């Protein structure tokens, strides 16, 4: 699996647009997204195993509810699975939890991005619950992965993004607005 310090792979995927545009129907609801889309911004790219399942919409909806907070941090959210854009669209139309989703749903149908990232489950052949925070230069700054049966915490992804964007030393359980570590000050106090 690619990890911190690795370049996020180049990709070109069809996606269902976020918001109301994503509910206009085939042809009008789709867009192409590449690694250069939203250039100069931080990106959070998260994968789920399969559409029309039970844990996945809880995570997708939770990320969607935080979209404004990520946006406030100059960060875009991309959600992805190996299902097609048509399946994503149908799922949005018929699932109340994600119908009004404001983020694009990427279709990695050829599994090229999932394979390049090294996140396909060895037994099921679907993406693990992997999450990547990618800086504006395209370098992975944080990577986390859960198995197929455990949902992740989007609030923790936001907390880690806040810490990364400080470019400072952040202690355990640090939250935005709290003090960061200043090693020089600690040495001066000890002297």
Please confirm, yes or no, whether 170 is among the known catalytic residues: no
CB of 59 within 8 A of CB of 97? no
Contact between residue 16 and residue 104 where contact means Cβ atoms under 8 Å apart = yes
- Sequence-ordered alpha helix ranges (H) in the chain: 56-65, 67-72, 85-94, 112-117, 154-166, 183-190
DSSP 127-157: B-EEEEEE-TTSBEEEEEEE-TT----HHHH
How far apart are the C-alpha atoms of 91 and 94, rounded to whole Å?
Answer: 5
**Of these residues, 33, 45, 56, 113, which one is catalytic?**
56
Which residues participate in catalysis according to the annotation?
Answer: 56
């Amino acid at each position: 699996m690619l990890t911190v310090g690795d370049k996020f792979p180049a990709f070109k995927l069809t996606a269902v647009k976020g918001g109301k545009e994503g509910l206009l129907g085939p042809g009008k609801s789709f867009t192409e997204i590449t690694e250069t889309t939203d250039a100069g911004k931080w990106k959070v790219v998260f994968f789920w195993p399969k559409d029309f399942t039970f844990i996945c919409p809880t995570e997708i909806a939770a990320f969607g509810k935080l979209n404004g907070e990520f946006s406030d941090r100059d960060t875009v959210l991309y959600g992805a699975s190996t299902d097609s854009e048509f399946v994503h669209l149908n799922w949005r139309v018929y699932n109340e939890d994600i119908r009004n989703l404001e983020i694009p749903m990427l279709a990695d149908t050829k599994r090229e991005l999932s394979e390049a990232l090294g996140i396909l489950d060895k037994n099921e052949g679907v993406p693990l619950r992997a999450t990547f925070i990618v800086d504006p230069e395209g370098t992975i700054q944080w990577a986390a992965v859960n198995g197929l049966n455990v949902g992740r915490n989007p609030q923790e992804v936001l907390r880690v993004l806040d810490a990364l964007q400080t470019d400072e030393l952040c202690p355990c359980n640090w939250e935005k607005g709290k003090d960061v570590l200043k090693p020089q000050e600690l040495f001066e106090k000890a002297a």
